[in-house]
Amino acid sequence: MNALRNKVQLIGNLGNDPEIVNLDGGAKLAKFSIATTESYKNANGEKVEDTQWHNIVAWGKTAEIVENYLTKGKQVAVEGKLTHRSYETKEGEKRYITEVRCNELLMLGK
């Protein structure tokens, strides 16, 4: 059951080309967002589409795969865990962000 404590699985399309960051010491970080869309019918029987955006971060070898193969519009399956962090803007405002730390990545489509 420990494997299920913080596990996220998403299938979606990249909204933009990934942002690649090369850190000191040779570590690589890839940041990108994917959109997932759900369809349902509302009380009036009309079809409604709900699109959610998810921030994804990948490290190491996974980041290298992202850098070499993923571009805007590509469909991917991502598995990872939810992480939350905060930071302060230049103006002193505290901001909060939720990300999926990608453990596994599967490229879908063409």
What is the tens place of the pLDDT at every residue in 21-37? 999 888 999 999 999 99
Domains of the chain: which residue ranges?
2-108
pLDDT in tens, 74-102: 999 999 999 999 999 999 999 999 999 99
Instruction: Tell me the pLDDT band of 60, cut-offs 50, 70 and 90.
Output: very high
Whole-angstrom distance, CA of residue 56 vs CA of residue 79 = 10
Answer whether CATH 2.40.30.10 is correct for domain 2-108: no
pTM here is: 0.86
pLDDT at 13: 96
DSSP secondary structure string for all residues of 5-54 = TT-EEEEEEESSPPEEEE-GGG-EEEEEEEEEEEEEE-TTS-EEEEEEEE
Question: What's the mean per-residue pLDDT of the chain?
Answer: 93
pLDDT at 2 over 80: no
